[in-house]
Amino acid sequence: MTETPKAPGVLVAAADPWNRELLGQLVLSVRCDATIEFCEDGTHAIELCRQRVFTLVVAEQELPGADGIDLLRHLRRTRRGPLAPDFILISASADTASVRAVLPLAPSAYLVKPFNAEDLRQRLRALLVEPGQEVACVAPVARVAGSLDNFLADARDAADGAPLLEEVGTAVSRCLNTAELSLEQLEDEFGRDPQITACLIAAANSAARHAGMPCLTLAQALARLGLAQATNLVLGLSLERAAQLADPQLKARAQGFWDLSQRTAEAAQVLAEDIGVDAPRCYTAGLLHCLGDLAVLRTLEEWQQRGGELNEELIDESLKGYGAGFGSTLRTRWRLPLELRELIAAAYGMGSGVFSRKALILNLAAAAARLPAGREDELKDSKAVRMLGLGPSQLRLLQGFLAPEVAPPEPLDA
């Protein structure tokens, strides 16, 4: 008879929130039943270790307050025998002296940044799963209580973001098995996915990596993160719970928003290139402008999985009532650069004031992407066209990006 292992308690200590999330996802991919505590500084980590016994501690060496070696030293001094946790130390120091300094404290593993996430998963498996043991990864889900409105309102501030495109899983496997992967290949593989693009830009701009001008495009984010870290973060996103939608009606709605995002992004890019404006930034803003609607759909699937009822009318009402709020909250919580947020907002409306050419392009591209084919003449009288001074040849550039016969939802207020 196969033994079911006791659920482990795991402490993850990392200064950067994106690294913490990645490490947590890697643990859960091996032991979905694990109870994980997160902390961002070594002093808090030591305090948590005084309060409870962990099966495993995964810590970066470079922590504010007490560092990862201080944490390991504390545990080796205070936890012995069966109470001594396994310990994985992740360090930016690869020199021989640094490694030798840690060896007397007997870490279970010493990894050098940027580490290989797939290799770390195998180490985690060896530490958390005994040979012959199996882990039941279908955890019981609490049933919903209350209304869908309350559920969405509560979920808005902690939403994980958008689901991933269906082809992302295959792309991740392809990247992990490519011997000589490049940043350009990563951009080609994932540059159509709003969630991955937004998260990598946010990670590149986090306090732990911020240096100089903010990253506003996926290419800039990849260059700052580097190949290994960017690949690790994409893997972590693909391992998240409900990273991809399963319900057919929600998947169909998501496909509509993905198509709309891509048409808007490409229309903005083509127009920006024609009039000599920063095309990559315009593309990025167009790709991300439906992030909130997609995040609502991901949250609706969780509602349904917890036993909540769902139909087309409820989906429509949820998107109309919460799409803009989810998007705004995500962009703020992830600290996307202000310029990028302003460009995304321009896709929904211009209001009054002084507008950059990029903002006008976004507004026009989003309008064109929502306009059914055959009605391109309606663009001629728009504010964006007048303010940009566009002629007939430039308007014709947008014809290939008009909406199909069944148009996606009208734009919401940002």
Average pLDDT for 78-92: 89
What local confidence, expressed as pLDDT, does residue 140 receive? 46
pLDDT of the residue at 144? 73
% the chain with pLDDT above 70: 92
Q: What pLDDT sits at residue 72? A: 95
What does the radius of gyration of the chain's CA atoms come to, in whole angstroms? 24
DSSP state of 403: B
SS3 130: coil
- The pLDDT-based confidence of 136 (bands split at 50, 70, 90) is low
Phi-psi label, residue 308: left if phi above 0, alpha if psi -120 to 50, beta otherwise:
beta
Mean pLDDT of 162-187: 89
pLDDT tier at 34, thresholds 50, 70, 90: very high
Closest to 292 in 3D by CA, of 170, 412, 167, 113: 412
251-263: average pLDDT: 96
3-state helix, strand, coil in the chain (%, to 5): 55, 5, 35
Phi then psi dihedrals of residue 9, to 5 deg = -100, 130
Out of 87-101, 114-128, 203-217, 277-291, the most confident range is: 277-291
Rounded CA gap, 93 and 70, in Å?
15
SS3 291: helix
pLDDT score at 100? 87
User: Which of the four pLDDT bands, split at 50, 70 and 90, describes residue 414?
Assistant: very low
Predicted local confidence at residue 242, as pLDDT = 82
Answer with the residue of higher pLDDT: 128 or 178. Answer: 128
Residue 210: pLDDT band by 50, 70, 90 thresholds?
low
pLDDT band at 139 (very low <50, low <70, confident <90, very high): very low
Range list for CATH 3.40.50.2300 in the chain = 9-128
Is residue 23 scored above 80 in pLDDT? Answer: yes
CATH of range 9-128; options 3.40.50.300, 3.30.70.890, 3.40.630.10, 3.40.50.2300: 3.40.50.2300
Range 248-260 average pLDDT? 96
pLDDT of residue 138: 59
CATH 1.10.3210.10 in the chain is located at 248-401
* pLDDT mean over 242-263: 95
Structural contact between residues 110 and 102, judged by C-beta atoms closer than 8 angstroms? yes
The percentage of residues in the chain with a pLDDT greater than 90, rounded to a whole number, is 70
Using CB atoms within 10 A of its CB, is residue 310 exposed (0-12), middle (13-18) or buried (19+)?
middle
Nearest of 51, 62, 53 to residue 13 by alpha carbon: 62
CA 247, 192, 337, 386 dihedral sign is: negative
**pLDDT band of 406, cuts 50, 70, 90:** low
- Contact call for residues 62 and 68 (beta carbons, < 8 A): yes
Report d(CA 123, CA 70) in Å as an integer: 22
Residue whose C-alpha is closest to residue 170's, from 198, 149, 190, 199: 190
Fold of 248-401: Hypothetical protein af1432 (1.10.3210)
